[in-house]
Amino acid sequence: MNNVRMAAASRNLFLFLFAAFLSMPLIIVAGVSFNATRRMSFPPQQWSLHWYADFFGDPGWMGALELSLFVGVASALLAASAALPICYFGWKYMMRLTTVLTGLGSLPFMLPPIVLAVVFLVFWSLLGHVGQVEDLVIAHGIVFMQLPIAAMALGFRSIDRALIDAAGTLGARDEDVFRTIVLPIVLPYIVSGALFVFLLSLNEYIIAQMVVGFAMETLPVKIFNSLRTGFSPSMCVGAVLFMLVGLVGYSLIAWIGDLPKLLGSESAK
């Protein structure tokens, strides 16, 4: 019994240390962002929202934020719109084409980002179409397509085939079945998949830097560039913003979808 209690105590200590390791940098950055003075200090000597006003009043930061949000939304729509037919027809007919497309759509996510950055840089340079927003949207859409594919495949697999058969027996056409049965069941997975793409695109750095970095700055690129020119607490505000968006985004996914299941857990506790 003593052994079990010891194990529980050491487990809790381990969990605490783990959480501390993961949250310490975030806490310090958040603390610095609430500081009244320009000099870094933690804990803040004087609390102030000065740097938040600074951040939201600066056209440079706001422009970067807008660009990041636009690229995130557009690439999420692109990736989800391409993943949906792949998963739908893959689920319905098991065609060889859908298998190939699933593989192709999942592959970029496994490659090192620097290689993808060079791939897209070479491609757009050869086309003579460099430094455009759509270059980055397409690049992110392709790179993160694996996430909606995986999420949607899971959603389609969770549909009870008996429902489809019953609808067919009752005379529903394929379109009706898709609209009234398939879509409502799969919708949470579609939304989660798109949200994953949005959140990863928002935070992606190296591809954004190499493909369009010389023409425009997304938020991570701007933070990196200011990192090199010197410290400013506005950067911490940008970082806090990212944490909040991530926290809200994933809580949203957990709320609309089944997060443990999306991540691969099968047991419903």
Partner 1 sequence: MTLVSPPDLSRYARFVQRTGRLGGRWVLAWPAVILGIFFVIPFLLLLRVSVAESGFGAMGNGGFTAASYLAAFQNDVFVYSVVFSVVLAAVVALISIAAGFPFTYAITRMSRRAQVCWLVFVLMTLSLSEVLITFAWQVMLAKRVGISNLLVWLGLMAEPVSLSPNLGAVLACLVYLVIPFTVLVLFPGMSRIDPQMAEAARTMGATPARTFFTIIVPIMRGPIVTCLMMSFIVGIGSYVAPMVLGRPEHWTVAILISKAATASNDMPLASAMSVLFLAVASVICLIIYRLGVRKV
Question: Can you tell me the distance from the alpha carbon of 231 to that of 235, in angstroms, rounded to the nearest whole number?
Answer: 8
Taking the least distance from each CB to partner 1, the nearer of 37 and 62 is 37
Q: How far apart, in whole angstroms, are the C-alpha atoms of residue 169 and residue 163? A: 10
Rounded least distance, CB 177 to partner 1, Å:
11
Buried b / exposed e over 170-202, threshold 16 CB at 10 Å, is: eebeeeebeeebbeeebebbbbbbbbbbbbbbb
Write down the least CB distance from residue 159 to partner 1, Å: 17
Asked if 174 and 244 touch (Cβ cutoff 8 Å), the reply is no
Q: Is 43 helix (H, G, I), strand (E, B) or coil?
A: coil
The residue among 118 and 163 lying less far from partner 1, judged by its C-beta, is 118
CB 35 within 8 A of CB 233: yes
* Residue 187 or 263 with smaller CB distance to partner 1: 263
Minimal distance in Å, beta carbon 38 to partner 1? 12
Residue (59 or 175) nearer to partner 1, CB: 175
Q: Smallest gap, in angstroms, from Cβ of residue 235 to partner 1?
A: 7
Q: How far apart are the first and last CA of the chain?
A: 27
- Complex with partner 1: residue 30 or 50, whichever CB lies closer: 30
**C-beta of 57 vs 260, nearer to partner 1:** 260
Q: Which residues contact 110 (CB under 8 A, 6 or more apart)?
A: 146
Q: Are 196 and 151 in contact (CB under 8 A)?
A: yes
Shortest Å distance, C-beta 167 to partner 1: 13
In the complex, minimum distance from the CB of residue 23 to partner 1, in angstroms, rounded to a whole number: 8
CA dihedral 63, 69, 72, 77 (to 10 degrees): -120
